[in-house]
């Protein structure tokens, strides 16, 4: 059940609900200490009550908070109040890339500006040894003044989500952050991700390429009628057939 406006979680006071997803609910909140607004992510009980998952979440949140870059959302704090686990992050006043794509055509200049900033954020994280593992339009925010912010950097997704709640019907696959299990979002994951193999920065680069294709054509290159068929398409051609179709689709767009 969503938290009511005025609910206190540690030093934060809930203002309004921003959105929901598999990782829980995100609220606009006010930090009473510094008198600023933040995005407050409240974790679902399935994660908050699992000691191992919570410990990994906290560890990776600390790693993400160390990434000081204009294209990566800043993690301010993580804590627990009255049995509720939360994470406080920089509040981005803008829209997700998914919302922008759903809203119609993005000009070439704007698309290039967004793509360059995504690449810059990824480069910073990869230089620090952090792999995103779930790069997709839902995890890219574009502020009203044009700054791109990458969300959920380096955070594992140990749950099954039927969708992000903002237009994406591609589910996230559950799994632990170790070789042999699958982690990521079907349709954007790399071949090694889809087979549970060990990942490095190249996996994010594959996902970035899929996003670029979608930004150019408004088509998800590997999307099929089912998750299984989508995974098979990724494993079968690794993008070769998608690239062959890119020219005609660009001409038609």
Q: Which residues are catalytic?
A: 134
Secondary element (H or E) of residue 42: strand 36-42
| Cβ neighbours for 63, distance < 8 A, ≥ 6 positions apart | 128, 130, 154
Report CA torsion sign: 186, 134, 87, 80. Answer: positive
Q: Tell me which residue of 183, 184, 152, 135 sits closest to 19, measured CA to CA.
A: 152
Rounded CA-CA distance 103/17 in Å is 22
Rounded CA-CA distance 150/127 in Å is 15
């Amino acid at each position: 059940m969503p938290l009511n406006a005025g609910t206190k979680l540690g030093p934060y006071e809930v203002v309004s609900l921003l959105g929901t997803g598999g990782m829980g609910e995100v609220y606009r909140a006010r930090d009473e200490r510094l008198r600023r607004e933040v995005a407050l992510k409240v974790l679902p009980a399935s994660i908050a009550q699992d000691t191992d998952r919570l410990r990994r979440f906290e560890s990776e949140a600390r790693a993400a908070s160390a990434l000081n870059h204009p294209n990566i959302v800043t993690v301010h704090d993580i804590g627990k109040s009255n049995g509720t686990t939360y994470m406080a992050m920089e509040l981005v006043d803008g829209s997700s890339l998914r919302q922008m794509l759903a809203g119609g055509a993005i000009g070439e200049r704007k698309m290039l500006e967004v793509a360059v900033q995504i690449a810059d954020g990824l480069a910073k994280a990869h230089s620090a040894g952090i792999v995103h593992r779930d790069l997709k339009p839902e995890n890219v925010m574009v502020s009203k003044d044009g700054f791109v912010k990458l969300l959920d950097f380096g955070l594992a997704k140990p749950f099954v989500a039927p969708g992000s709640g903002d237009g994406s019907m591609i589910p996230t696959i559950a799994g632990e952050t170790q070789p042999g299990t699958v982690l990521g979002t079907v349709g954007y994951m790399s071949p090694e991700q889809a087979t549970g193999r060990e990942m490095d920065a190249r996996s994010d680069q594959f996902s970035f390429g899929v996003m670029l294709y979608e930004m150019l054509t408004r088509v998800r290159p590997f999307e099929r009628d089912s998750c299984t068929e989508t995974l098979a398409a990724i494993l079968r051609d690794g993008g070769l057939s998608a690239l062959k179709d890119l020219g005609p689709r660009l001409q038609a767009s």
